[in-house]
Amino acid sequence: MKPPPFSYHDPKTVAEVVGLLATLDNAKLLAGGQSLMPMLNFRYVQPDHIIDLNRVEGLAYIRETADGMEVGAMTRQRDLEFSDLVEKRFPLMHEAIGSIGHRQTRNRGTIGGSLCHLDPSAELVSCAMTLDATVVVAGPNGRREIEFADFPVAYLTSAVEPNELLTAIRFPAWPAKHGYAFVEFARRHGDFAIVSAAVLLEVDGAGKITRAAVTLGGMGTGPVRASELEKTLIGRAPSGDFLRQACESCRTLEALDDVHAPASYRQHLATVMSRRALEKAYARATGKA
């Protein structure tokens, strides 16, 4: 349970990081370390080089933009948790953050690290998916942007190339009175969610849903948008058994078997978590929460 030997680099600028990534073989970027350090201790990963991002300048900030906010990749989860801007404009993220591990891990864990590690049950991954975030990466040819829908490419694998690093994430905000909810099912508070649901809703004056985003986490190899469910919701004012029936479509989403739960259990949870999140979000959107 000790990290394997490696060379350690602690660059001060993004340009230096890009330079190191271009020259070093088998290098790993170390952000908050709340996933990579356990993997090193277990020796699941054995990099020849660790590039520590904790001393790189200018990567930790939360900035309001014209249409939402931009967050630096090395911003700690704890700083998002206590950000007034996040609480006011991105209440979904504010609600989700309380379920990320524990205080001790949120103090170190970063948003960029969480997104790049891309655990399918990670709360910030689900938030980025639901909010249609844009990810900014820096590489040898300068910066490029990736829409979050294109960001997950495989299990624990993002579209960030081995010679690039994630520098910032842009989140467009939803209108002031939108409905939101993040719910998850885990065996204990702070554990990895077996299934989570993140929901955003816009509702018109007559109570009809005009816009919906629903993401399920923990199901398969990456976060999934429940696009069939989203379409079913548009134009409807949920009452009676409508949500329960609409959420049945989540039972057909792809899911994995593992030691925590079989696929069929995850699919059942997907119907329950999505319904609970939608009920909560709708109540909030219509001022009844």
Partner 1 sequence: MGETRKIAVTVNGKRYEEDVEVRVTLADFIRHQLGLTGTHLGCEHGVCGACTILFDGRSARSCLMLAVQANGHEILTVEGIAPGPDKLHPLQQAFHENHGLQCGFCTPGMLTTLIEFLRDNPDPTEQEVRIAISGNLCRCTGYQNIVISALDAAKRLKAEAGHQA
Q: Which residues bind partner 1 (CB under 8 A)?
A: 1-8, 10, 30, 33-34, 37-38, 40-42, 50, 52, 54, 78, 101-105, 107-108, 188-190
Q: How many helices (H) and strands (E) does the chain have?
A: 11, 14
| Residue 243 identity | L
β-strand partners of 106: none
Q: Is-contact 135 145, C-beta < 8 A?
A: yes
Which distant-in-sequence residues (6+ apart) come within 8 Å of 123 by Cβ? 96, 97, 99, 100, 114, 182, 184, 193, 196, 217
β-strand partners of 29: 51
Which distant-in-sequence residues (6+ apart) come within 8 Å of 245 by Cβ? none
Structure-block tokens of residue 105: 């891990």
In whole angstroms, the minimum distance from the beta carbon of 75 to partner 1 comes to 14
In whole angstroms, the minimum distance from the beta carbon of 100 to partner 1 comes to 11
In whole angstroms, the minimum distance from the beta carbon of 257 to partner 1 comes to 23
In whole angstroms, the minimum distance from the beta carbon of 155 to partner 1 comes to 20
- Nearest residue (CB) to partner 1, 188 versus 288: 188
Residue matched to tokens 């300068």: 142
- Nearest residue (CB) to partner 1, 38 versus 162: 38
The residue among 130, 94, 115 whose CA lies nearest residue 211 is 130
Which distant-in-sequence residues (6+ apart) come within 8 Å of 84 by Cβ? none
- Nearest residue (CB) to partner 1, 75 versus 215: 75
In whole angstroms, the minimum distance from the beta carbon of 193 to partner 1 comes to 14
In whole angstroms, the minimum distance from the beta carbon of 86 to partner 1 comes to 17
